[in-house]
Structure 1
Amino acid sequence: MPTWSAVFFQDSSSPFMEQLTYFHDFTMAVLTLITTLVGTSLVFISAYDLSNRYLLQDQMIEMIWTVSPVIILLSIALPSLQVLYLLDDPFNPSLSIKTIGHQWYWSYEYSDFPEIEFDSYMDSDQPNDLPRLLNADNSVVLPTNTQVRVIATAADVIHAWTVPSLGVKADAVPGRLNQLMFLLSRPGMFFGQCSEICGANHSFMPIKLESCPMVNFISWISSR
């Protein structure tokens, strides 16, 4: 859940977001190491005016500072390609949901259960224990440990269906269908927002998602 004091990513709730978090931490560690090394070298060069007039060249150090950046770039590029392939790898979903962006609310249709359709507006009564402007009157209920596909589109202007803790984001474009694939690894309540500037009330169309075990999901389906 997002909070005012949060500095890092939200706790991941899907394998995709876990991989993205690991890749981010690894890349930031490499960048921090390089920045520290270069900064320290600049400080020593500026502080000490020492030189060796007999040192003309050194092939070994030239090879090191030529090959090292290549190795560092490969160590970053290969994991990034792996994560990118993982995010775009399609699978056979066990559950499909269609979400339609409106100005300024979301509509949801459970494709496998045609009788389940509802709109989700921002809840005007904001409880103190929930994030401000992120609570919705109707939640998207999904089962855990189940392959889920979300098909996003829009009825008027371009929106974006985004849930940061899942690591998913896709534009909802009128006349087009974009799909999102994810798997919820734990039960909980997750929040998101439209990530496109879709109009005056852009910041008032939240996404509220609840994940629960399959038994509870079936009970919820039966109650609808």
Structure 2
Amino acid sequence: MNAIKTIIFALGLALAPAAIAQSPAVAPSAVVAPAPAAAAPAKPVSKVADIARTAPDATIGQPVPRGYEIQQQVTPIGKRAVWMHNALLMPIITVICLFVLALLFWASYRYRRKGNPIPSKVSHNTLIEVIWTTVPVLILLIIVFPSISLLAAQYKPVGKDALTIKAIGNQWYWTYEYPDNGGFEVVSNMLPDAQAKANGEPRLLAVDNRVVVPVGTPIRLLVTSNDVIHAWYVPAFWTQMDAVPGRVNEASFTVERPGVYYGQCNNICGARHGFMPITVQAVSPADFAQWISAHGGTPKGAKPGAPAVVAPNTAANTAAAPTTPAPAAAPVTKG
């Protein structure tokens, strides 16, 4: 029986190359290379000069060496939150910590074995129990009302005069759209360390194309994602919002001071999570209008003119556009 199995197995191996040779390979169809994920769209042709790239201030809008305080805030909500942290929360936390520490030392000394050969058998004290119940409740009430007020102000919808910007998270870069200004797009990638150093910007935080906002104008930030969950986070604005695929979250802020402000994705999103920074350049309304025009956009509320001339992205168009078959040749009629 084993001999028969061996003969059958040998015949199968002998016929296998012939079977493979009898199946000719099918010529593959034309392969279209996909467009790079972080490739920026071609810049519209514009006769308006772009604004200057503002140099960052090393003391604001970015981390500082040996810094332990909250970054200096440049939005009304951020300033209010820092006041609450410094003037309300920290004093309460400090007093409670010192009181508990002093109480521990006092109890350790007062009720030590040497000073109390006969252990105390006190079971309760009504006055102390009322105090340690009432005081924490009062402390919580002091904290809760400013906290709720701050949260309500932080998530209060902005008015119709706000500028809408859409931030889209991708692995691992950000894309920004300006729907109020013609819907043009800005793709923002992290700069290499050498280029960031040459520009005088911090490493791992500088980008090639900054998101530009006007000073003094409320910003409605719509945040979403194309792949996984990201988070748009700029500490100097006191703003963080998750970017969730299939969902649009909204945040708002008003920058009160021109400058450059850095942030990062604040939600672990893959291997290069630490390499998708955020750079916001806040400029005057006049400079913002110039920047919009230089990128082929239109001022908010203005009627769009002729469409901006944008060089086509051949790879992306080839991958997205369906192939239309050529019409069949007409039959030849013999006379």
TM-score (norm 1): 0.91
Is the aligned partner of 1:169 residue 2:240? yes
Q: Deviations over 1:69-107 (max 9, x none)?
A: 111110011111111111111121521011111111111
Identical aligned pairs, as a percentage? 40
* RMSD between aligned residues: 2.2
Q: Deviations over 1:157-193 (max 9, x none)?
A: 1111111111111111111111111111111110111
Deviation at 1:27, TM superposition (A): 1.1
Deviation at 1:115, TM superposition (A): 5.1
Is the aligned partner of 1:44 residue 2:106? yes
1:160 matched residue in structure 2 = 231
Select which of 266, 287, 294 maps to 1:195: 266
Instruction: Report which stretch shifted further, 121-130 or 81-90.
Output: 121-130
2:134 matched residue in structure 1 = 67
Instruction: Report which stretch shifted further, 155-164 or 124-133.
Output: 124-133
Deviation at 1:131, TM superposition (A): 2.1
Q: Name the aligned partner's letter for residue 127 of structure 1.
A: K
2:46 matched residue in structure 1 = none
Q: Name the aligned partner's letter for residue 99 of structure 2.
A: L
Select which of 114, 135, 148 maps to 2:182: 114
Long gaps (5+) in structure 2: 1-61, 296-335
2:26 matched residue in structure 1 = none
Could you say if the C-alpha distance between residues 56 and 196 of structure 1 is closer, same or farther in structure 2, counting changes exceeding 3 Å? closer
Determine if contact 1:3/1:131 at 8 Å carries over to the other structure: no
Is the aligned partner of 1:127 residue 2:189? no
Larger Rg: 2
Determine if contact 2:155/2:251 at 8 Å carries over to the other structure: no
Distance (whole Å) between structure 2 residues aligned to residue 123 and residue 182 of structure 1? 26
Q: Name the aligned partner's letter for residue 64 of structure 1.
A: I
Q: Name the aligned partner's letter for residue 106 of structure 1.
A: W
Could you say if the C-alpha distance between residues 107 and 35 of structure 1 is closer, same or farther in structure 2, counting changes exceeding 3 Å? same
Q: Deviations over 1:124-149 (max 9, x none)?
A: 12227322200000111101111111
Q: Name the aligned partner's letter for residue 239 of structure 2.
A: V
Distance (whole Å) between structure 2 residues aligned to residue 153 and residue 161 of structure 1? 9
Deviation at 1:195, TM superposition (A): 1.1
TM-score (norm 2): 0.62
Deviation at 1:13, TM superposition (A): 1.1
Structure with more strand by fraction = 1
Distance (whole Å) between structure 2 residues aligned to residue 161 and residue 101 of structure 1? 8
Q: How many residues align?
A: 224
Distance (whole Å) between structure 1 residues aligned to residue 269 and residue 124 of structure 2? 59
Q: Name the aligned partner's letter for residue 109 of structure 2.
A: A
Is the aligned partner of 1:210 residue 2:277? no
Distance (whole Å) between structure 2 residues aligned to residue 151 and residue 199 of structure 1? 22
Deviation at 1:120, TM superposition (A): 0.3
Could you say if the C-alpha distance between residues 213 and 62 of structure 1 is closer, same or farther in structure 2, counting changes exceeding 3 Å? same
Partner SS, residue 117 of structure 1: strand
1:144 matched residue in structure 2 = 215
Deviation at 1:11, TM superposition (A): 0.5
Q: Deviations over 1:178-216 (max 9, x none)?
A: 111111111111011111111111111110001111111
Distance (whole Å) between structure 2 residues aligned to residue 44 and residue 150 of structure 1? 53
